[in-house]
Amino acid sequence: QKEVEQNSGPLSVPEGAIASLNCTYSDRGSQSFFWYRQYSGKSPELIMFIYSNGDKEDGRFTAQLNKASQYVSLLIRDSQPSDSATYLCAVMDSSYKLIFGSGTRLLVRP
Amino acid sequence: ETGVTQTPRHLVMGMTNKKSLKCEQHLGHNAMYWYKQSAKKPLELMFVYNFKEQTENNSVPSRFSPECPNSSHLFLHLHTLQPEDSALYLCASSQDYRGNEKLFFGSGTQLSVL
């Protein structure tokens, strides 16, 4: 059973700090990696995607991928209370199936 | 309207009722999906339609019956549901299926089965 693992949290950080969210996956042949943000009572929204090893930056968000270690992370710089949400990691595996993690709940304290 | 719209937002039904969820996407995408989201569990893929043809049925019980009349519309027909079917049902679309698909979700239907 191919899996995507995330710590459920909550991860609590003070406003202005860097929030680091991690995700590991079991299928070494996985190809594409996505981060979705889901506010309470709302639907998931795609915020980042990464296909190659290394870092990808978009505004305050940085996605990091390490295929050798089978992990992908999301860094949020200068965290704001409005970043408080559940962050879902999704991985497209070697059979082109998109597998979601259970999500990490992030709380940014004012 | 833009994006992916789902109706109704909330639905309460008895186990003997028949109801339908509706989804419409205005993005010109070719693939549409039904997902189930239960508390503390990962999103579960239920069905995939690509160019209005069903390409995935993820071992979903027959009490859930999808319908895709065209690439922009998707329905989920519900009948004789069980209380454990209570969950958030999300429709999504993507430009392509089995590519590097980026999903766009509708607002979801919060379903309660009594």
**3 state SS of A83:** helix
Task: Kindly tell me if the per-residue pLDDT of B100 is higher than 70.
Answer: no
Residues of chain A neighbouring B103 (CB-CB closer than 8 A): 34, 36, 44, 46, 98
B22: closest CA among B43, B44, B1?
B1
* Predicted confidence (pLDDT) per residue in A51-107, tens digit: 999 999 999 999 999 999 999 999 999 999 999 999 999 999 888 889 999 999 999
The pLDDT confidence band at residue B52, using thresholds 50, 70 and 90, is: confident
pLDDT value at residue B24? 97
Q: What pLDDT score does B2 carry?
A: 66
Count CB pairs under 8 A between chains A and B: 42
Distance CA B71, CA B35 (A): 17
Contact (Cβ atoms closer than 8 angstroms) between residue B20 and residue B77: yes
CA distance B23 to chain A (A): 14
